[in-house]
Each structure stands twice: as structure tokens, then as C-alpha cells.
Structure 1
Amino acid sequence: MDSSPLVQSACSLAPGMILLKRMFFIVIIDFMNISRINLNLIVVLHVLLETCNTTRAAEQLFLTQSSISSALKQLRELFNDPLFVRQSKGLSPTPRALALKPDVDTVIQQINHLFSNKEFDPAHDETIFTIAMSDFCEAILLQRLQHHLSEYAPFCKLIIKPVGTLDFLNGPTPLEADAYLGVFTRLPCHYESEIILSDKAVCLADKNHPLMKKRGELTAKNYFSAKHIAVYYGEDPLQNTIDALLQKQGQQREVSTFAPHALAAAHALMSSDYLLTVPQSLAGALSQTLPLKSKPLDFFTVEGALHQVWHTRFSQDPANVWLRSLIKDLLKKGPKPL
């Protein structure tokens, strides 16, 4: 009698199901076999293959000869082979033992690597560092960081990614980096931070700006009557850090341009009558390469902190610790020209 299509379909799937079940049981059997093995036996086998002598093997492993003999008995049962044959001057490995040696050596090396506390060697390691930073950080740090790596970590590479605030880390696809540098508004879970630079805001303008050529300090009247360029980082342009602070103090300035990048805003100052309020460290770096000049803001204080942020999984990583320490040390030396 002919089978129905459903029965025929089931029969056609049967060989595949049988194969799947066989693979499943093989995995279980392999796991059970591994779980029953005393991994210390591999260590004993490794030393015996190196020394071919039970006495020296016992000395190296700080075990008794009887313990080595017991381990060798278990190894013989495990591999179903004598592994070593006694001779007048020690042990002679069997062909099976010699065939096992490369794999045993590899396993021991991998275990040693797994538990080793490897230090970072900047002179020889080939590490790719990824740092997310704002253009403000690029201006005051990148040149020195690049020069230092070139001299003291010549095989390391540096990847720079743009970043404003840390808000993006709370999204579905957080930016991956070894460290994040910037003025951040909030810190997500599983991230650590430290302040690496405290800074005051100053007023920056073209060196031929009337307020820069004028003797004396910049007054509040002159500041608030001038036209401004404002820089914002991932925030509402109209509620950037400076204007939000001024609003709390009941003050307001005339902002004509809102720019997301401090370097572009600084270039826009040249041959213009605009003012730009930026951190003192950035103003110092820009003034060394552009025809700009800065004056302090004595009539109100704007203080900010530059943070270095990293994921907790990198907290004890030797290369990451070295990088974070280097960044802090370089920023302590003050601004450098771009």
C-alpha cells in the first residue's frame, strides 16, 4: 500500500534526525570523557616526555616517585598504550608517546598563557589602541600622543573616533573604544572614569579684534554686547554648556552661530568680530598656531573637567592601564601647538 505524503516526508527526515541524535550523543560522551580526566596527568605526561626519568619528573613536580608511578599507570590506561618502556638509563617513549608530544606541549603552553599575568611591553607589543575623543581633546593631546607612541611604542597603532557626550553609550550600538575622552554629562553602568584635566573657560577672538587689542581685562558689558560663536557637544545647541550656565545666572549673550566642533569654530574667528568661549587649554593650543588671542572671563566663572572613561572589563588590562596613565601624564605638561 502506498504511503501518504506526510509519511513519506517523515521517512525522508528520519536519516537526518538519526544523524543529529548521534552527533548529540557524541558531544555528551566527549564532554563526559573530558570531565573524567584528571588534567594533572597531562602535566605529568609533559614532564615525563621532557625528562624520560621518573626521579627527575618527581623532583620537578615536587611529588613522590610513587605519585609519578601512579600517574603513569593512569596515563597508560587512558591512552591504552605503555607510553614509556623502562631501560637501564631511564624511560624510553613509545611511538604513541612521541606522537602525543606536540599536542601535549601545545596544551601546556596554552594553559601557561591562560594563567600568566602578561605585562604590556610598549617597545615590542603590536597593540591597536582605539580612543574616542572630542576635537577639543584632539587639539590638546593628539600630537603629543602620536609622537610618544612613535618613539616609545613604535609597533602600536592609534585609531581616533569622534565623540561628544557619553549619551550614545546607552544606545543599542555603543561605540567601542579602549578609552573615551571628553566632557561627559552622564556615565552608563559598567564604566569607570577619572578627571584628567580641570580647566577654566576663557574668551578667544581674532588677535586684531578691538576687544583683544584694547588694554585691560575684558568686561561683562563688552562680552555681552559682542557677537558670539557657541560650541555644543551632543546637546541642544541652544542649551549648550555656556548658555545654560548664563541662563541660570539671569544673563544672555548674542549667539549667531552654533558649531559642533571647536576647531572649526576657532577658524571661523579669524578676521571676524566674533567671540568664542573655550577651555583655557584649548585656547592656549590654538593661539600658538592661529592668529588668535584670549582673555580671561573675570566677571563669571566657568569651570569644567575633562574625563577619561573606560569599560570595567579594561580596568586591569595592562595595555589599557598603560594608555590611561600615558594620557594623564601628557595632559599634565600643558598645551602644545597643533
Structure 2
Amino acid sequence: MNGIHTTDLNLIRVFDALMEERSVTRAGERLGLSQSAVSHALAKLRLLLSDELFVRGPDGMHPTPRAMELADPLRSALAQISTALSAPRFDPATSDMTFVVATSDYYIGALFPKVMARIRREAPRIRLWLRMFNDINLVEELDRGTLHLVVGAFGRIPGRFRRETLAPVEMVWIMRRDHPAAGSPLTLETLGHWPHVDILLSGRATPEAPGMQDQEGLERSFVTSNPTHLEALLREAGLTRQVGATVPLILAVPPLVAASDMVAMVPREVAETHRDSYGLAIFDSPYARPPTQIDMLSHNSHGAHPAVLWLRRILDEVGRA
């Protein structure tokens, strides 16, 4: 043929049907075209290729040597085009895809070992690239498709993102077991007297930042203890909050608390996992504090791919188990 830019690709379908059926009438029935439409297409093909392609005989249309030469390459090309234009497919058992997920160190340690165990059973060749979302521009990377999913605490989100709730996280207060205040119930007065460890999940924020900050239309939780709310409660009681240390990692808190008189708010799972190894005392919050809602974010476009749908389902099921 003269070239892809001057060729009607429907002519290839007619050619392939004629090779299979060896009949203008049957080729038309196969393609849903009239006999005259198939004859017209064949005339175009003959002109384009300067070859008769099919010669009529007593038992049907016989392909010329040139037609025989073109048959396999054109059938292969049609199959590839059909595959490219069909709905995307994903088979976890055979896929070697790499998924990129941004989250905090807490979820890397608490959620994703269970996710990996599930993936190992269902999709042994799948790989996960788990990125700390501290200083990632989540909006930009979700838009570009360089992030498949984000797991964290969020407020308002852009309309082009999809939010799915995972299991909420219960937060507790910890201090070292031999802390001077460990023998009594935890109160607001205790929290106003002893210094705190703040967990600041972004180097772009400041220790004085509010718990939620807007990042290009996405409200991210940067400080895990919601200090603005606590500071308001302490002020009402005539107390102030002291910050002894600010860290970027949730899992850095237990050893700091164990080595000092500081107190900190962490997920209950972190506190209970490290209770004995660091000698921690665990307390429920002395003020009303609902569990932290955790969301899984994906882009409405990229997140609809069967592969990402599969990973979203895995995270949802593992997170709620």
C-alpha cells in the first residue's frame, strides 16, 4: 500500500475478510457490508497495490501471489490494532507491573506488610514502590500518573481525585513507663505540664502549621496530633502546650519518648507494638477525639485502570481485615 497516511484502514478489514471467505458476498455478510461496498473496496485495494489481489474462478475468489504475501502481515496488524483499542486487561497472576504508592512510615510498617503478603499469593511478579509522602507534590504526581495511590489523612480533595475510606486509626498518648506522670490518669493538666513530641509529615510545613494545609486544592494532614484543637483546650484551662521535639517520622517517636520526659500522640498499633521494647505507658485521650479517618486517593482517570482497581481492592480488603 502507498502508506498509512493515505490508506483507509477499513480496506485492510475487507482484504482480510476476502482472504478468509474467498467470496465478495460472504465477506460482506461477515463485515456487515453490502456486496457493492465490498466490490468498491476491492477496486480501491487493486488501485492502491497495482495488483488484482483476487481473481474470480468457478469455486470463488483466488488470491494472487501478492495477496498471499500480504495476508499474514495484515492479519497480524489488525490483531494488534484490535488489542490496542480494546479495554485494558490486567492479570495479576502474570503481570510484572510496578505500583507506586505514597504514604507515611506508619502505613509502610503497619499496612503494607499485610498487603505484600496478599500480593505474594495472588501476583508474585508485582512490585511495590512505597514512597514517603512527606515532600512529594501529591497533586502533581497523581495528575501525571507517576503515583497510582496515596494513603493518608485528607480534608478537601480536588474533584478529579477519587476518595475511598480505609479503616480509621485510633490515636493514643504515650510516655515512658517510669515517667513521673505515668502512675496517674492522663489529664489536660498533664498534657499542659510535660513537653510533647510533634510529628510533622512534611519538610515544607512549619512546626506552627495547622493540622491541615492546602496543597493545590488538596488538604493534607501535616501534624498528626491536631495541635490547634489541643492548644485551644489547654488555653481554656489556663495551660499552654510545650513542644520538646518535632520529627518527620511516626516510628521515630517511641524511642524519643522512652529516653525523655516528653509525651506524644501516636496510632494505637504503634504504641502497642513498641510498648514492651521501649517500656511505654499508653493512655486514652483525656478529651473527646474521634479516630483519624484514613483515605486512599487515586486519580479518576488513572485509578480506573484494571490494574489500579485491583490494587485498590487489595488495600481496602486488607485495611478492613
Tell me the TM-score range normalised by the shorter chain.
0.7 to 0.9
Alignment of 1:268 with 2:241, yes or no, is: no
- Under a length normalisation based on structure 1, what TM-score does the superposition of the two structures give? 0.76
Are residues 111 and 224 of structure 1, via their aligned partners in 2, closer, same or farther at CA, if it must alter by over 3 Å? same
Residue 229 of structure 2 aligns with which residue?
Answer: 245
1:1-338 mapped onto 2 (5 Å cutoff): 33-34=6-7, 37=8, 39-164=9-134, 169=139, 176-184=146-154, 187-188=157-158, 190-209=160-179, 211-212=181-182, 214=183, 217-234=185-202, 235-239=205-209, 241=211, 242-249=226-233, 250=235, 252-287=240-275, 291-301=279-289, 303-333=291-321
Are residues 290 and 323 of structure 1, via their aligned partners in 2, closer, same or farther at CA, if it must alter by over 3 Å? farther
- Residue pair 1:165, 1:185 contacting (<8 A) in 2 also: no
- Residue pair 1:128, 1:159 contacting (<8 A) in 2 also: yes
- Residue pair 1:164, 1:184 contacting (<8 A) in 2 also: no
| Distance in 1, Cα, partners of 2:110 & 2:19 | 58
Question: What letter is aligned with 2:88?
Answer: K
RMSD: 3.1
> What's the offset of the Cα at 1:289?
7.0
- Residue pair 2:163, 2:297 contacting (<8 A) in 1 also: yes
Bigger relative contact order, structure 1 or 2, given CA contacts below 8 A and separation 6+? 2
Are residues 286 and 62 of structure 1, via their aligned partners in 2, closer, same or farther at CA, if it must alter by over 3 Å? farther
- Residue pair 1:202, 1:278 contacting (<8 A) in 2 also: yes
> What's the offset of the Cα at 1:296?
0.8
Q: Where has structure 1 moved over 4 Å in runs of 4 or more? A: 29-32, 165-168, 207-212, 284-291
Are residues 300 and 160 of structure 1, via their aligned partners in 2, closer, same or farther at CA, if it must alter by over 3 Å? same
- Number of residues paired by the alignment? 299
> What's the offset of the Cα at 1:127?
1.4
Superposed CA offset, 1:88-120 (max 9, x none): 443332222123223312331232113312332
Residue 216 of structure 2 aligns with which residue?
Answer: none
Of all paired residues, the percent bearing the same amino acid is 26
Are residues 111 and 288 of structure 1, via their aligned partners in 2, closer, same or farther at CA, if it must alter by over 3 Å? farther
- Under a length normalisation based on structure 2, what TM-score does the superposition of the two structures give? 0.80
> What's the offset of the Cα at 1:178?
0.5
- Residue pair 1:199, 1:305 contacting (<8 A) in 2 also: yes
| Partner-residue secondary structure (3-state), 1:197 | coil
| Distance in 1, Cα, partners of 2:55 & 2:69 | 15
| Distance in 1, Cα, partners of 2:274 & 2:145 | 28
User: Does 270-279 or 117-126 show the bigger shift?
Assistant: 270-279
Are residues 175 and 71 of structure 1, via their aligned partners in 2, closer, same or farther at CA, if it must alter by over 3 Å? closer
User: Does 268-277 or 130-139 show the bigger shift?
Assistant: 268-277
Residue 6 of structure 1 aligns with which residue?
Answer: none
| Partner-residue secondary structure (3-state), 1:237 | coil
- Residue pair 1:139, 1:282 contacting (<8 A) in 2 also: no
- Residue pair 2:100, 2:130 contacting (<8 A) in 1 also: yes
Which protein is bigger by CA-based radius of gyration? 1
Question: What letter is aligned with 1:155?
Answer: R
- Residue pair 2:175, 2:264 contacting (<8 A) in 1 also: yes
Are residues 239 and 286 of structure 1, via their aligned partners in 2, closer, same or farther at CA, if it must alter by over 3 Å? farther
Are residues 51 and 181 of structure 1, via their aligned partners in 2, closer, same or farther at CA, if it must alter by over 3 Å? same
Superposed CA offset, 1:260-280 (max 9, x none): 111112232335433220233
| Partner-residue secondary structure (3-state), 2:251 | helix
| Distance in 1, Cα, partners of 2:4 & 2:88 | 30
| Distance in 1, Cα, partners of 2:303 & 2:210 | 32
| Distance in 1, Cα, partners of 2:82 & 2:138 | 39
